Structure 1
Amino acid sequence: MFFAIYRDVSNQWRWTLFANNNRKIANSGEGYFNKTDCLNAISLVKGSGSAPVYER
């Protein structure tokens, strides 16, 4: 898996998570004005592996 970061049409930073077969798994859902904020959001996703899963 890998993350790709890019600028959208509004010139904001976004990320997309891809599987090894290059299919999209997840995306940021929002744009970030600063590249650092986008990278921090990726770190939060990477670190959430132990988060519980709830059915609603």
Structure 2
Amino acid sequence: MATRPYPSYYMYKDTQKLWRWRYDASNAKTIAVSSESYHNRADCQRGIDIMKASQNSEVWMPSELVNSA
């Protein structure tokens, strides 16, 4: 069995036998999860691909929170 690298995305089937993903950081802690489950593995992979492609997306917050700690 191969050793899992970190950070990495992890695809698995949930209790309903539907596909989901999670992203685990270099310390093996989960920091992101799919917000939906998928019937097809290819659709789950597409969700991961969308997340990977969003790395240059801007971070936005309401103006009243800009100076919040």
Q: TM-score, normalised by structure 1?
A: 0.95
* Residue 12 of structure 2, aligned match among 1, 6, 11: 6
| CA RMSD, Structure 1 to Structure 2 (Å) | 0.7
Gaps of 5+ in 1: none
Gaps of 5+ in 2: 1-6, 63-69
User: Is 2:31 aligned against 1:15?
Assistant: no
Q: Percent identity?
A: 34
Which runs of at least 4 in structure 1 moved beyond 6 Å after TM superposition?
Answer: none
Compare CA radii of gyration and give the structure with the larger one. Answer: 2
User: Is 2:34 aligned against 1:28?
Assistant: yes
How many residues align? The count is: 56
Structure whose residues are more often helix by fraction? 2
Q: TM-score, normalised by structure 2?
A: 0.78
